[in-house]
Amino acid sequence: MTCSSLRTAQLAGCAVVVSAFLLTSCTMSDSGEDNAGNSSRSPAPSSTRTATEPSEKKLTEQAQAAVAAVHKGTLVEAGAERVNDGIHTEPGLSEGKTYRLSLACAGTGSAQLVFVPTNAGTKATVPCDGSVVQQRITADKLVRINVDGSKGATGVVAWQIDAP
Let me know if residue 120 belongs to a domain. yes
Q: How far apart are CA 54 and CA 49, in angstroms?
A: 9
Q: How far apart are CA 70 and CA 6, in angstroms?
A: 77
Using only C-alpha atoms, what is the Rg of the chain?
28
- So what's the pLDDT on residue 10? 54
Whether 34 and 61 share a structural domain: no
Domain that holds residue 68: 56-163
Q: How far apart are CA 124 and CA 113, in angstroms?
A: 5
Let me know if residue 108 belongs to a domain. yes
Q: List residues bridging with 34 in a β-sheet.
A: 28
Q: How far apart are CA 114 and CA 105, in angstroms?
A: 15
Highest mean pLDDT among 25-29, 51-55, 157-161: 157-161
Let me know if residue 102 belongs to a domain. yes
Q: 162: closest CA among 141, 129, 136? A: 136
Let me know if residue 44 belongs to a domain. no
Total domains in the fold of the chain: 2
pLDDT tens, residue by residue, 62-71: 999 999 999 9
Q: What is the DSSP letter of 72?
A: -
CATH code, domain carrying 93:
2.60.120.380
Whether 153 and 83 share a structural domain: yes
Let me know if residue 133 belongs to a domain. yes
pLDDT tens, residue by residue, 75-131: 999 999 999 999 999 999 998 899 999 999 999 999 999 999 888 889 999 999 999
Whether 60 and 28 share a structural domain: no
Beta strands in the chain (DSSP E): 74-82, 87-89, 98-116, 124-138, 144-149, 154-163
Let me know if residue 26 belongs to a domain. yes
Other Cβ atoms closer than 10 A to 8 = 12
Whether 90 and 158 share a structural domain: yes
Whether 31 and 103 share a structural domain: no
Q: How far apart are CA 55 and CA 72, in angstroms?
A: 29
Judged against a pLDDT cut of 60, whether residue 12 lies above it is answered with no
- So what's the pLDDT on residue 69? 94
Judged against a pLDDT cut of 70, whether residue 155 lies above it is answered with yes
Let me know if residue 93 belongs to a domain. yes
Let me know if residue 25 belongs to a domain. yes
